[in-house]
Structure 1
Amino acid sequence: DDVMDRVRLAVDLCSNLQGFFVFHSFGGGTGSGVGVEVLHDLHEQFAKKVIFQPTIYPSHQFSSCIVEPYNCIFATHYMRDVVDLSLMMDNEAAYRMCTKNLGIEGPDFEHVNRIIAQCISACTTSLRYEAQLNATLQEIVTNLVPTQHYRYPVVSLAPVRAATKGAHEHFSTQEIITDLFEAKNILCDCGGNLKMNRYLAAVILLR
């Protein structure tokens, strides 16, 4: 109740509310349990608003809790009918991007969070600046979600280079788009070669 009271106060200050961003980590009990309850309340009280959910799944290599897999399964199940779009990301892929792409030895959560923040910033560029496509949250959902059951897109980011290297490199548009489908640039470990897949929908944002 306290959480929803604060949400309603924030909503009252908005002149043109499109929806909600709910950053959701599934590993712990608070993220998976309380987070799902908040999502259900948002869906019930603001049914016509978009719920945009960047989700962070834990890594089995960096697990801090033995029940993390159960938390993830239950949370994924209970949120399936209340979220309009879930951006799938996991800690392991973000760690791998830090070590392989940026050359960081022993990355911590600060490094991982910066990668994830950069991805979300890129995804919302069309909302913050004037754009012809994906200018609203509802447009993003419409363009990426063919049916209600297919609303779990993965996110990739390219080029990801250390600052010392990036200043001396130049990339063509084709090279950047090709890199987006490389496993090292995808923030969700899908366990396969995404280049060989067929896609129901895709949005590529270049800036």
Structure 2
Amino acid sequence: MDYERLRHSSDSAELSAEARRPLPDRSDQAAFSRATALLEAVAGNPSTPVEDRVLLATTMPFPNILVKLSTDPDPRVRAAVAGNPNDKNWLAGRLTKDPDLDVRGAALRNPSTSWRMRLEGAQDPRTDSDTLGFLGGLGLGDDGSPRVLAAMVRRAVAGNPSAASGTLDLLVGDPDPDVSRAARSRRRL
């Protein structure tokens, strides 16, 4: 099979089979390279069934394929890319700005998302309350979060008008006095 033919194919069964074909061993560099290039063609073809594009977006570690899928017209595919732990920081960061709420939420939860992007998401009133709840819990357990950065994100969540009352209740008792003060202040509004 060749790249251009797969890129323009309208045969969804053929595209699905190619999307699910196991990759050759990496030791066979030429075959492995060719297979990943063909996957890129499959990923960018709108005739590839959405469930196969979601599968690729969820499982692929290859930036060229993830970048292609990050602009997919179906938000389920973009959300799968946003949640892929193999994302590069800049790709996850770009998806924190997606117009779809689920895509933004998945990107903000992705461990590769930068703290700057998480802070912006915590400040954004369009961020859904579940994602704000996740961001409001960063650094409170053994999640390896940098203490100061996690506290900045939690403080931003406390000031966000979209934060759920349960999240504010937790943040009122936050060990960081600035976070706790911001949550108490929001409670009074």
TM-score, reference length from structure 2: 0.30
User: Which gives a bigger RCO, structure 1 or 2 (Cα 8 Å, sep 6+)?
Assistant: 1
Which of the pair has more CA radius of gyration? Answer: 2
Task: Write 1 or 2 for the structure with the bigger share of helix.
Answer: 2
Task: Write 1 or 2 for the structure with the bigger share of strand.
Answer: 1
TM-score, reference length from structure 1: 0.29
